[in-house]
Amino acid sequence: MIIKGGKVFTDNFRFEETDVFIEDGKFVADESYVTDKTVIDATGLIVIPGLIDVHTHGAFGHDFCDGDVEGLKQIAAYQRRCGITRFCPTSMTVSVENIKTAFETAGKLRDNGKEYAEIIGINMEGPFIEKSKKGAQNEEYVRTPDYDLFKALNEAAGNLIKLITVAPDVEGAMEFIQKAYGEVNISIGHTMADYDTAAKAFEAGANHVTHLYNAMPPFTHRAPGVIGAARDCKHCFAELIADGFHIHPSVIRATFEMFGDDRIVLVSDSIMATGMEDGEYSLGGLTTYAKDGVVTLADGTLAGSSTNLFECMKRAISFGISPESAVKAATANPAKSIGVFDNYGSITPGKAADVLLLSEDFDLIKVV
C-alpha cells in the first residue's frame, strides 16, 4: 500500500509532504519494498501515526473492571473508530479478585482483529494509593504496596502490566519501587507526597506521573510537590488530561513549556460514559454522573473523563499547543513511556503501520 501526497508527521516530528509505504502491516522505506501497489490519495490530508492511550478505563457503556470480554471488545472497537489504534486498559481500586478477572480478560483479547484497537499493555492504577487523594477510587479496597501481589496479578495478566501507580508517601512504597524497578514502569499518583519524597521515588526508579495536577498536592512556590519533582526528573513522563475540565488551558500551555514536548503524555482517563449520552454510569463500582462533558461522583469529585484521546489531542491544539507537540504527545511519547517505541508510535520503517488520515482541521477521515 502507498499513501501518496499527504502532509506526513514524520519520525523527526515534523510535517512534511511525502509518501508513506506499507508492506505486510509494517512501514517500509520506499516503493521497492511494496508488493501491494494499492494507492490511497492523501492529497490535502494530514497523515499521522495511530494514537496510543495508556490511561483509559472504558468507553461506549463498558468498564474494563467489569472483566467482560464482550464489553472490552466494544471498548476496543470504539477506540479504533476514534483513531486510537493501541491502548492500555486501566484498572481501578477494586477487589483483588475483580482486578485479576479484568486482567485475565485483557489477555484474551490480544490480536483480536483489525476492527479493534490492540491492547499493548495494562495500566494498573490502583490499589496502592493514598486514601486522602483517592479521587474517584474506592477507599474500601486501598492497600499498601505489595510486590508479591503485583507479581501474581501480572502473571494472571500474561505479563501485560506496563504501568502501575504507586503513592510514594505510603508505607512500603519505596521498597516496592526498588523491587519492581525494571519489571514495570512505575507512576507516581494519588498521593500527598512532598517534593523530597517524590524526588526520592524517581531516584529509586519511578519514571511516570499519573494525571499530573490531579489527585496530588498543588504546585506552589514554596512547596512544588510531585509536580516540581517530576519537572526536575528528566527521565519522567507526565500524563495530562487535556479535556478542558481537569486542567485549565493556561496550565496545559504552561506545562508543555515547563516540561517540554518530549515528556508530556496526553491521556483520556476515559470511562464508560465516553461516546454515550449524559446520564448515570459506573467507574470501578462507584456511581458517576456525566453531564455536558464532565463526569463526577455524587459529591462533585471528578471521576475520569468522557473524552477520547483523539478529542483530547484536538482540544490541546485548540488551547494553543502546536500540532507537532500535540501529535507527539499522543503517539510517540505514550509509546516511549511504556517501553514500546521500538514497534509503535511513529511512521518509521519496521514499525506497525497504524495510520490516521485527517482533514486540515484535524478531523478524522480514515483509520488505516
Closest Cα partner for 288 from 275, 266, 312, 305?
305
- 26 vs 288: CA distance, rounded Å: 41
Cell readout for 18 is 511525502
How many residues make up the chain in this entry? 368
CB atoms within 10 A of CB 169: 19
Catalytic residue among 53, 169, 269, 354: 269
Closest Cα partner for 104 from 49, 147, 62, 158?
158
Placement of cell 506497525 in the chain: 352
**DSSP-H helix ranges across the chain:** 69-81, 96-108, 147-156, 173-180, 195-204, 225-232, 249-259, 309-318, 323-330, 332-337
- The region that residue 172 occupies, defined by phi over 0 for left and psi between -120 and 50 for alpha, beta otherwise, is left
DSSP 50: P
CB atoms within 10 A of CB 366: 14
CB atoms within 10 A of CB 360: 9
The answer to whether residue 269 is catalytic is yes
- 225 vs 111: CA distance, rounded Å: 40
- The region that residue 77 occupies, defined by phi over 0 for left and psi between -120 and 50 for alpha, beta otherwise, is alpha
| Residues with a known catalytic role | 269
